[in-house]
Amino acid sequence: MGQWIIVCVGFCVLVVIVIPSIIVRGCGLTTSPPTPPLSSDEDTVKVFVVPSNEIQEMPLEEYIKGVVAAEMPASFGIEALKAQAVAARTFALKKMTAFGGTGCTANPGADVCTDHTHCQAWISQDELRERVGYINYPIYARKIQDAVNSTRGLVTVYQGNLIEACYHAASGGATDNSEEVWSNPLPYLRGVSTEFEAKEPDFRKEFRFTMDDLEKKLDTSLKEQKATTYKVAGKDVQVISTERMDKPIEILAASKAGRVKEIRIGNKVFSGYTLRTLLGLPSTKMTYRVVGNEILIVTTGYGHGVGMSQYGANVMAEAGKSFEEILKHYYQGIEVVSYTE
């Protein structure tokens, strides 16, 4: 009996401890890629970390690894991850006060924050491990590290100046000019529509809103006064009643790629960006149908649709395109250079 206990204990140790450690070591990785010590000549970035509500100072390249881990699936092609690293580095440098940037306007004292709706998302190595799992973590962490290290210091510039390196998840078939979504036209943020965008996931989603829901969420009225004339004792009598609008929703202006620029809902006009925010929609590329007392909105794509499409970048990577080709496709007329030069 004692021998059986010893055998069972030995088997458990082998399965739980020895084999996993052999698997990890067999990949030539540690469970957490080491963070290099901060050298005196290495640029640092001040990051406002939202969950901890504090500013952390970290090496720029280590910060970029956390951004790539948060912003793009590590399962994507290595060239897509490299393109993401360059775009994230460009975004950060343009924000950094040390390089003449404005810093994070939402959090004074910080260069950037980890709120993806304001700056760029960022996660720590521990958060990456939780996201991808213990088994996948060493492989994905090394892949991200390789993507960042192999593009170390590289940024995108237009006529010698850092660009606004905008990016989004999926364009839904085509990206847009910057002025189609925002007011500022930038020569390198031009809409592109090629076979690559056509092959990315369209992220088609449907949203149903009752008329009452829309009135509350948008502080608008989908009712109007209607006059009906009746004959009473040979005389015309006009009766005024409040009823639902015949046309409660109407797209007033759209971009070439089909994103809503202006839309009327009830008695108010909204920009596509504002409507997307208020209703929590993934994209402004939308169509609609009125079904009884509901409005059905169908969106395509994910994100604002300007600059680099991350899923489109992955399609290009799978097609054998390099990170430079990806960047030059989405950012027209730019160059990829080392900022240290």
pLDDT tens-digit profile of 45-54?
999 999 999 9
Q: Are residues 164 and 310 in the same domain?
A: yes
Q: Is residue 7 part of a domain?
A: no
What pLDDT band is residue 24 in, cutting at 50, 70 and 90? very low
Domain, as residue range, for 292: 205-299
Q: Is residue 15 part of a domain?
A: no
Indicate the average pLDDT of the chain.
87
Q: Which DSSP string do the residues of 243-256 spell out, in sequence order?
A: EE-SS-EEEEEE-T
Q: Are residues 57 and 93 in the same domain?
A: yes
Number of domains in the chain: 2
Q: Kindly tell me if the per-residue pLDDT of 30 is higher than 80.
A: no
Q: Are residues 152 and 76 in the same domain?
A: yes
Q: What is the mean pLDDT of residues 190-218?
A: 93
Q: Are residues 142 and 255 in the same domain?
A: no
> Comparing 25-29, 70-74, 106-110, 120-124, which segment has the lowest mean pLDDT?
25-29
- Using alpha carbons only, how large is the chain's radius of gyration in Å? 26
Please give the pLDDT value at position 202.
86
> Comparing 137-146, 239-248, 259-268, 272-281, which segment has the lowest mean pLDDT?
239-248
**3-class DSSP state for residue 2?**
helix
Spell 292-303 as b/e; 16+ CB within 10 A means b.
eeebebebbbbb
Joined tokens for residue 164: 């606004």
Q: Is residue 233 part of a domain?
A: yes
Q: Kindly tell me if the per-residue pLDDT of 238 is higher than 70.
A: no
Q: Are residues 74 and 162 in the same domain?
A: yes
The answer to whether residues 302 and 72 touch, using CB atoms and an 8 Å cutoff, is: no
Q: Are residues 295 and 309 in the same domain?
A: no
Place of tokens 């260069």: 111
Q: Are residues 138 and 45 in the same domain?
A: yes
Provide the greatest CA pair distance for the chain: 110
Pairing of strands 223-232, 235-244: antiparallel
Q: In what order do the strands lie in the sheet with 260-265?
A: 249-254, 260-265, 268-271
The answer to whether residues 164 and 330 touch, using CB atoms and an 8 Å cutoff, is: no
Joined tokens for residue 95: 């924000």
pLDDT tens digits, one per residue of 58-101: 999 999 999 999 999 999 999 999 999 999 999 999 999 999 99
Q: Is residue 25 part of a domain?
A: no
What pLDDT band is residue 194 in, cutting at 50, 70 and 90? confident
Q: Are residues 284 and 325 in the same domain?
A: no
Give CA–CA dist 247/4, Å, rounded: 79
Q: Are residues 139 and 228 in the same domain?
A: no
The answer to whether residues 272 and 284 touch, using CB atoms and an 8 Å cutoff, is: yes
Q: Is residue 188 part of a domain?
A: no
Q: Are residues 209 and 267 in the same domain?
A: yes
Q: Are residues 260 and 332 in the same domain?
A: no
Q: Is residue 51 part of a domain?
A: yes
What pLDDT band is residue 237 in, cutting at 50, 70 and 90? low
Please give the pLDDT value at position 31.
34
* Amino acid at the residue 231: K
Q: Is residue 217 part of a domain?
A: yes
Q: Are residues 114 and 80 in the same domain?
A: yes
Q: Is residue 200 part of a domain?
A: no
